[in-house]
């Protein structure tokens, strides 16, 4: 039976968690991969992150502030993994993320850009654990998650 909030089935949750485990096991590298991809594909986003001021693309991978932010994002996603079958709690966490990012001037465009960036990171860092079934489940889950986050961003 699917969760009434996330609409994820138990098989989808299992595929997501299995692929996530491989990514989270190397959370520092995964977080860096995510942000380097985000800033490479969306250079204008760098201006929203004070620690990126004046940083050349080639220097991003070794920037301690980017590493720290990447780890925080990986830890946050890991928290969400624990609530994939508890939609009400997951929504609470996602809304909190959205509202805290209002003051940071994060926009819907930032989260829309995460569609391909997140899938790229999961593919690169998850390797063989990121199966076609896992990808489909992640796309479904991220769609739900993003809609809640963006809704909170909009107030």
pLDDT digits (tens, 9 = 90+) for 35-57: 999 999 999 999 999 999 999 98
Kindly list the distances between the CA atom of residue 143 and the CA atoms of 48, 81, 115, 148, in Å, as whole numbers in the listed order: 23, 15, 8, 9
What range defines the domain where residue 32 resides? 10-153
> Would residue 123 count as lying in a domain?
yes
Per cent of the chain over pLDDT 90 is: 91
When pLDDT is cut at 50, 70 and 90, the band that residue 82 belongs to is very high
Whole-angstrom distance between the N-terminal and C-terminal Cα of the chain? 32
> Would residue 5 count as lying in a domain?
no
Q: Structurally, how many domains does the chain consist of?
A: 1
3-state secondary structure of 130: coil
Closest by alpha carbon to 120, among 40, 52, 61, 58?
Answer: 40
pLDDT of residue 83: 94
> Would residue 3 count as lying in a domain?
no
> Would residue 42 count as lying in a domain?
yes
pLDDT of residue 5: 83
Q: What is the mean pLDDT of the segment spanning 131-143?
A: 97
Q: What is the CATH number of the domain that holds 98?
A: 1.10.490.10
> Would residue 4 count as lying in a domain?
no
Per cent of the chain over pLDDT 70 is: 100
> Would residue 15 count as lying in a domain?
yes
The percent of the chain in helix, strand and coil, each rounded to the nearest 5, is 80, 0, 20
pLDDT digits (tens, 9 = 90+) for 11-34: 999 999 999 999 999 999 999 999
Other residues' Cβ atoms within 10 Å of the Cβ of residue 9: 15
CA 71 to mean position of chain CA atoms: 11
pLDDT digits (tens, 9 = 90+) for 106-136: 999 999 999 999 999 999 999 999 999 999 9
Q: What is the mean pLDDT of the segment spanning 3-8?
A: 86
When pLDDT is cut at 50, 70 and 90, the band that residue 2 belongs to is confident
């Amino acid at each position: 039976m699917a969760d009434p909030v996330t609409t994820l089935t138990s098989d989808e949750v299992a595929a997501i968690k299995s692929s996530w485990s491989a990514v989270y096991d190397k959370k520092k590298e995964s977080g860096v991969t995510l942000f380097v991809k985000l800033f490479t594909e969306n250079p204008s986003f760098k201006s929203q992150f004070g620690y990126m001021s004046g940083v050349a693309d080639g220097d991003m991978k070794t920037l301690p502030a980017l590493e720290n932010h990447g780890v925080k994002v990986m830890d946050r996603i890991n928290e969400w993994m624990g609530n994939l079958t508890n939609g009400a709690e997951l929504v609470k966490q996602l809304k909190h993320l959205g509202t805290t990012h209002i003051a940071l001037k994060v926009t819907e465009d930032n989260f829309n850009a995460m569609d391909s960036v997140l899938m790229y990171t999961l593919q690169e860092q998850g390797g063989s654990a990121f199966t076609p079934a896992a990808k489909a489940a992640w796309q479904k889950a991220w769609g739900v998650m993003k809609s809640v986050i963006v809704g909170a961003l909009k107030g």
